Amino acid sequence: MSHTAELIAVGTELLLGNIANTDAQMLSQGLSALGINVYYHTVVGDNPQRLRAAVEIARRRADILITTGGLGPTCDDLTKNVLAKCFGRPLVRHEASARRIEAYFRSIGRPMTENNYQQAMLPEGCTVLDNDWGTAPGVAFEADGVHVVMLPGPPRECRAMFQYRVAPYLRACSDGAICSRTLRIFGMGESLVESMLRSQMNAMQNPTLAPYAKEGEVELRITAKAGHEQEARALIAPVEARLRAQLGSAVYGADVTSLEEVVLPLLKERGLTLGCAESCTGGLIAKRITDLPGASAVFRGSVVSYATPVKHTVLGVPQALLEEYGAVSEPVARAMAEGARRTLGCDLAVAVTGVAGPDPDERGNPVGLVYLALAAPDGTTVKRTRSGGVRERIRTLAASGALDLVRRWLSGAPLEETGTEPSE
């Protein structure tokens, strides 16, 4: 029997737009990996009547119901009260949870306020999902053929609770496997990819193929269903091989979430170090690389030369170049990369200089014009790129373009095929 889950997020802050429902994203990924279908997400505020209405609709369409939020000390345990009523399970004080909450506050060295004990009132006979990442325990029980799971809302807690508590609980409910593999593409727009692959996408039943556009990149998700994970993987492999042959070096990785996740292991394999000189990206490249644990083995650092004089004083870009060509130019990009390589003492240095907007620069260079340069032991390459959109998008594409240049050099792919055209 195949299972269907439905997610209900509880919190007026979601309906007011204070936060995005990232818990739903994380849970959907996790449920999909367990082979459990998700057909609906619902968000409802801190309102018992409307939460109850949402639960009544959801229990008719799904046999696994997962709520997030409304368990904390500031919300009067709305979710537990409502779900307890919907499924006829009175709340009772769970002493072990009360002790855990006290211990949590001792461990972080902060006073525990009385309202925190509310979090230890749990539906009678439930499975308690211990929360090692916060105070509110999670809850799971089965009633009327529906598995009900309640999780805390803070994303960090919700993620850990799903991974270590809920996934093992649900694994028993799932049969068969849905596997997917996601190819990531930089430098081709979604509609180009889609029109190249349209006919084969339409003809495919299992696996299926779906493209998604993300911040100047395209993801192609291959999804297969089978009795076991191995069979599903075997269905995926030939499709992946065919797509890689069609799309060439624009495919930068599979089941990775970013270019930096590909660049870092390539650097380690080759035993090379990387550094940056960043102008319009303002530290974004360095930030993305150091988001990853283990970056220190290969990443030397970055000179964020945001003000023009810093390009001269720290990176050694000749004053004459800055005066003649301006900070946003091919020669300055080249000198920044070579200066960073020298100053930071790294094998490869990538530089970015461009106009992130909102206004053109003082020389009239348009918003979106970006020069990327890579200084390597075999010489320096400079690329001129142009992208559309707002400041954030321009910066993201510039950082991705720089990382793609490094990726191409490290993997022996042609440096020039790269593009940073906007995808729709």
Binding status of residue 137 toward a copy of itself by CB under 8 A = no
Judged by CB, which is closer to a copy of itself: 29, or 246?
A: 29
d(CA 79, CA 390): 40
Residue 234 CB, shortest distance to a copy of itself, in Å, is 21
Judged by CB, which is closer to a copy of itself: 72, or 253?
A: 72
Among 66, 166, 185, 285, binds a copy of itself (CB under 8 A): 285
Burial class for 182, CB neighbours closer than 10 Å (0-12, 13-18, 19+): middle
Binding status of residue 50 toward a copy of itself by CB under 8 A = yes
d(CA 199, CA 146): 40
Binding status of residue 269 toward a copy of itself by CB under 8 A = no
> Using CB under 8 A, which of the segments 139-147, 242-250, 293-301, 328-336 binds a copy of itself?
293-301
User: Tokens in use for 107?
Assistant: 């461990």
Those residues with Cβ within 8 angstroms of residue 311's Cβ, 6 or more apart along the chain or in another chain: 277, 279, 305, 317, 322, 327, 332, 335, 336, 339
Considering only residues 388 to 407 of the shown chain, the ones binding a copy of itself according to CB under 8 A are 388-393, 395
Residue 262 CB, shortest distance to a copy of itself, in Å, is 18
CA 384 from centre of chain? 28
Those residues with Cβ within 8 angstroms of residue 278's Cβ, 6 or more apart along the chain or in another chain: 284, 285, 286, 302, 303, 304, 305, 306, 351, 352
Considering only residues 149 to 168 of the shown chain, the ones binding a copy of itself according to CB under 8 A are 154, 156
Summary count for the chain: helices (H), strands (E)? 15, 17
d(CA 81, CA 50): 13
Considering only residues 353 to 372 of the shown chain, the ones binding a copy of itself according to CB under 8 A are 356-358
Judged by CB, which is closer to a copy of itself: 99, or 156?
A: 156
Residue 179 CB, shortest distance to a copy of itself, in Å, is 12
User: Tokens in use for 413?
Assistant: 């792919």
- 236 touches 224 (CB < 8 A): yes
> Using CB under 8 A, which of the segments 87-95, 142-150, 190-198, 227-235 binds a copy of itself?
190-198
Considering only residues 320 to 359 of the shown chain, the ones binding a copy of itself according to CB under 8 A are 343-345, 356-358
Judged by CB, which is closer to a copy of itself: 251, or 298?
A: 298
Binding status of residue 73 toward a copy of itself by CB under 8 A = yes
Cis peptide leading into 207, omega within 30 of 0? yes
Those residues with Cβ within 8 angstroms of residue 158's Cβ, 6 or more apart along the chain or in another chain: 23, 26, 27, 68, 151, 152
Binding status of residue 220 toward a copy of itself by CB under 8 A = no
Binding status of residue 56 toward a copy of itself by CB under 8 A = no
Binding status of residue 78 toward a copy of itself by CB under 8 A = no
Among 145, 205, 245, 293, binds a copy of itself (CB under 8 A): 293
User: Tokens in use for 238?
Assistant: 């030939």
Residue 397 CB, shortest distance to a copy of itself, in Å, is 12
Binding status of residue 203 toward a copy of itself by CB under 8 A = no
Binding status of residue 58 toward a copy of itself by CB under 8 A = no
